[in-house]
Amino acid sequence: MHRACFGRAWAASGFGAWAVLVWGLTACAPLGPTTGSVAIPYRNPTAAIGVTSRYDDARFAGLWYVRGAYPVDADLRLVERRADAPEGPLWTLTSRRCVSAGACVEGVAHWPAETDVPGADVLSDPQGGPARRAVVVWVDDGFRTAAVGGADGRFAWVLDRAPRGGADRIAAGRQVLAFSGFDLKDMRMSP
């Protein structure tokens, strides 16, 4: 819970304090994936998270296959970041959902972004949902594999330039996410 929310709840007095406290606990709940009515972030917010010192816009640009993601992004297949888009940085997220035997639908969403610091963009949801702050926490020397996550713990991805292979790099990406406070037990991996 945010300290400001906690302090605001305790600032009231008398019987109303309990009502304000209950309101404060629900109104200030962290955003994230949900199970039932309880928000569950995938990351410990007290763990340090930062942008990799290796980050380079030109080398990170291009198409990435999603090799690992949480259930919130279960259908996500491809991620592409363009730094040279006319309107500024742009992330294209491509999903594929199979709705029945053999019938699959592909969706492409363009998320405009503002660069917070090199390697950390605030992505605006084109559907009007909450923004995502994407932090590139790790990339290998050859820019073949990357680990990207949100400091709020709502998402994380292990990305690779190829749809298969690179098991050692994929494992390294997962390790860096774990070091950055992500709980990997719910992360779904593709081969």
Q: pTM for this one? A: 0.78
Cα gap 119→99, rounded to integer Å: 35
Read off the pLDDT band of 40 (50, 70, 90): low
Structure tokens at 20: 């304000």
Task: Answer whether residue 158 shows pLDDT above 70.
Answer: yes
What's the chain's Rg over C-alpha atoms?
Answer: 19
Domains of the chain (ranges; CATH) run 3-30 (no CATH), 57-189 (2.40.128.20)
Cα gap 145→141, rounded to integer Å: 9
User: SS3 breakdown of the chain: % helix, strand, coil, rounded to 5?
Assistant: 25, 40, 40
Which region, left, alpha or beta, applies to residue 146 given φ > 0 means left and ψ of -120 to 50 means alpha?
beta
pLDDT tens string 82-140 = 999 999 999 999 999 887 777 888 999 999 999 999 999 999 999 999 999 999 999 99
170: Cβ–Cβ under 8 A, 6 or more apart, which residues? 67, 68, 145, 158, 160, 189
